[in-house]
């Protein structure tokens, strides 16, 4: 009997470990998918602005622009609906242990073997969205309509040669919260794919390519030291007679006309004192006869810190690199300490940046959500593995995150945050890849501040 109990305990432990591993994988998959969705959405918005400007110059694109605007409105409403479902599921997972609902979506959509009213509303919402998009696109964009029909189909799924399962059960029955969130995120990703396909059909048009105007931002380099002069140019992507800049706003400041030369705009600004990522963004109004048009632009650059008492020119034989974003940066010199004695305190690193003297890393929203939370040991090549960390948004409760990637809930919070909001990263669980049992010092907490 004792042996049977022992075997049962072993099986339960193995199943539990398997669930943890599966949920961790789903967390990582969901985080990467949400980051990619944001990336595709940003591209879509930029292309929509380009289409709007092109429609001002070429009447043949006005109709297409109006269709895309309606399309954007419909998809935004649908994506917000899916977001609300995800947030409800996330909130259910963050309740007290006794109140947790690990199968929130399943319980919402099903009661025993029957679909609930909420479940049927979910299916009806998808079908209505599909119908409305089809009516909007069937005449001008039949290929995109076919893509939508396939991606938004709620028909039964064939699970074997002789069996079918209804779509809702196939997607959400017997599925825990994390898997449900992952499934909904993939549904959102399908819509972002449709948006990309629609704009690809328009942008690929030869007439559009001949009519479109964009602002290109060219900098002398992408990395600067604090106080450096950042130089570059803004220019229109094509040369047209009598086309010239009329007004330029750069990072919220209206530029003097003296910077407008030969149809281009010169950039000459000072790099900020603090290390981190910074945007060069704004709007450029151009005129051609009586026509005026405003174009938007965006690019980023990095400020890295100098090492005190060290020349800007570092001999490659005695130094590897200066870590970007360090307040009092240390030059990583050879030979490195790869033994386990006298190791320096590990440091949190995000996208190649470590904190400045105030413990802050400044990042763009997209750079933050697509980055891993890493740890380095100064003056060492030893690889550190991050298995867990705490994430605390400003004015919100702390979340524990497994692995080294932000999860879907944290990404959702970041996406809804305004410029300047801060997020604390701390309580990291770390180990050496080469020696997991060796006890490392805990890295100091860092604060990430959004710069866009």
**Structure confidence by residue, pLDDT tens digits, 11-23:** 333 334 444 344 5
pLDDT tens across 404-439, in order? 888 877 888 888 888 889 999 999 999 888 888 888
pLDDT score, position 3? 46
Percent of the residues in the chain that have a pLDDT greater than 70, as a whole number: 79
- Residues present in the chain in total: 452
Contact 245, 260 (CB under 8 A): yes
Averaging pLDDT over each range in 121-130, 344-353, 383-392, which range is the top one?
121-130
DSSP conformation letters of 336-389: P--SSSSPPPPEEEETTB---TTSEEEE-HHHHHT-BEEEE-TT----EEEEEE
Least confident of 123-127, 268-272, 320-324, 428-432: 320-324
With 60 as the cut, is the pLDDT of residue 447 above it? Answer: yes
Higher pLDDT, 239 or 433: 433
Taking residues 313-321, report their average pLDDT. Answer: 35
Give the model's pLDDT for residue 79: 93
Q: Taking each helix axis from N to C terminus, what angle separates 2-57 and 177-203, rounded to the nearest 10 degrees?
A: 20
Residue spans per domain, the chain = 19-208, 213-304, 319-450
Q: For residue 389, what pLDDT is reported?
A: 92
State yes or no: pLDDT of 82 exceeds 60.
yes
**Regarding predicted confidence, which is higher, 168 or 49?**
168
Beta strands in 129-252 (DSSP E): 157-158, 164-165, 215-219, 223-225, 229-236, 244-250
- For the cut 80, the answer to whether the pLDDT of residue 241 exceeds it is no
pLDDT at residue 325 above 50?
no
Examine the pLDDT at 335 and tell me if it is beyond 60.
no
CA–CA separation, 32 and 432 (whole Å) = 25
pLDDT at 373 over 80: yes
At 319, the pLDDT band (50, 70, 90 cuts) reads: very low
Is domain 213-304 given the CATH code 2.60.40.1120 in the classification?
no
Q: Which of 3-7, 70-74, 140-144, 275-279 has the lowest mean pLDDT?
A: 3-7
- On whether the CB atoms of residues 202 and 51 are closer than 8 A, the answer is yes
> Which of 326, 355, 351, 323 has its CA nearest to residue 422?
355
The phi, psi pair for 287, rounded to 5°, reads: -130, 145
Q: With 50 as the cut, is the pLDDT of residue 400 above it?
A: yes
H or E segment and range at residue 299: strand 291-304
Distance CA(238)–CA(398), nearest Å, equals 50
Torsion 274-280-281-285 (CA) sign: positive
Per-residue tokens: 14: 């193995």
Residue 352's CB is within 10 A of a number of other CB atoms, namely 16
Amino acid 85: pLDDT:
92
- Asked if pLDDT for residue 78 goes beyond 50, the answer is yes
Output the six-digit token pair for 153.
């189909």
Q: For all residues of the chain together, what is the average pLDDT?
A: 78
Instruction: Tell me the two tokens of residue 421.
Output: 């909001």
> For residues 292 and 10, which has the higher predicted lDDT (pLDDT)?
292
pLDDT of 351 strictly over 90: no
Q: What is the pLDDT of residues 141-193, one digit of tens each?
A: 888 888 898 889 999 888 777 888 899 998 898 888 888 888 898 899 889 88
pLDDT value of position 54: 75
More confident call, 307 vs 30: 30
Nearest to 234 by CA among 213, 208, 210, 203: 213
**pLDDT above 90: residue 118:** yes
DSSP character for 275? -
**pLDDT of 205:** 56
Q: Which two tokens stand for residue 235?
A: 């220019």
Q: pLDDT for 155-164, tens place per residue? A: 988 877 788 8
Mean pLDDT of 23-40: 72
Query: What is the DSSP secondary structure assignment for residue 281, as one 8-state letter?
Result: E
**Mean pLDDT, residues 184-210 taken together:** 77
Average pLDDT estimate for 389-399 = 89
Cα distances from 166 to residues 114, 153, 170, 212, 338, in angstroms, run 11, 11, 6, 46, 57
Give pLDDT, residue 334. Answer: 44
* Mean pLDDT, range 107-116, rounded to an integer: 90
pLDDT band at residue 378 using 50, 70 and 90 as cut-offs: confident
């Amino acid at each position: 009997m004792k042996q049977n109990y022992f075997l049962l305990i072993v099986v339960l432990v193995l199943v539990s470990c398997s669930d943890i591993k599966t949920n961790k994988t789903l967390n990582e998959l969901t985080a990467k998918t949400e980051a990619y969705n944001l990336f595709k959405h940003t591209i879509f918005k930029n292309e929509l602005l380009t289409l709007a400007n092109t429609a001002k110059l070429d009447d043949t694109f006005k109709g297409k622009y109006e269709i895309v605007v309606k399309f954007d409105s419909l998809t935004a409403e649908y994506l917000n609906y899916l977001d609300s479902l995800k947030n409800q599921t996330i909130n259910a997972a963050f309740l007290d242990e006794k109140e947790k609902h690990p199968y929130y979506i399943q319980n919402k959509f099903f009661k025993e073997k029957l679909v609930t009213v909420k479940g049927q509303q979910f299916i009806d919402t998808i079908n209505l969205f599909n119908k409305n998009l089809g009516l909007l696109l069937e005449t001008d964009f039949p290929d995109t309509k076919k893509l939508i029909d396939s991606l938004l189909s709620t028909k039964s799924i064939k699970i074997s040669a002789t069996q079918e399962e209804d779509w809702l059960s196939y997607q959400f029955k017997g599925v825990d919260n994390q898997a449900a969130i992952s499934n909904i995120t993939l549904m959102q990703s399908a819509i972002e794919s449709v948006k990309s396909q629609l704009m690809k059909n328009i942008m690929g048009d030869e007439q559009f390519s001949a009519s479109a105007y964009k602002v290109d931002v060219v900098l002398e380099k992408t990395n600067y030291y604090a106080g450096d002069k950042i130089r570059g140019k803004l220019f229109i992507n094509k040369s047209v007679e009598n086309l010239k800049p009329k007004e330029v706003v750069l990072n919220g400041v209206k530029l003097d006309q003296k910077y407008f030369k030969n149809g281009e705009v010169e950039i000459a600004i000072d790099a900020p004192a603090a290390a981190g990522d910074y945007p060069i963004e704004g709007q450029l109004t151009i005129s051609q006869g009586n026509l005026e048009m405003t174009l938007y632009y965006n690019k980023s650059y990095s400020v890295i810190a100098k090492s005190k008492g060290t020349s800007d020119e570092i001999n490659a034989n005695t130094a590897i690199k200066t870590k970007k974003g360090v307040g009092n940066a240390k030059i990583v010199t050879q030979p490195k300490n790869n033994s386990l004695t006298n190791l320096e305190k590990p440091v949190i690193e995000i996208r190649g940046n470590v904190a400045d003297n105030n413990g802050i890393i400044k990042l763009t929203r997209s750079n933050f959500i697509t980055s891993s939370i890493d740890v380095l040991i100064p003056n060492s090549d030893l690889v550190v593995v991050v298995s867990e960390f705490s994430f605390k948004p400003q004015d919100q409760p702390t979340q524990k995150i497994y692995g080294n990637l932000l999860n879907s809930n944290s990404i959702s919070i970041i996406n809804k945050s305004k410029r300047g909001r801060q997020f604390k990263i701390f309580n990291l669980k770390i180990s050496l890849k080469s020696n997991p049992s060796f006890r490392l010092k805990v890295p100091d907490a860092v604060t990430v501040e959004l710069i866009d």
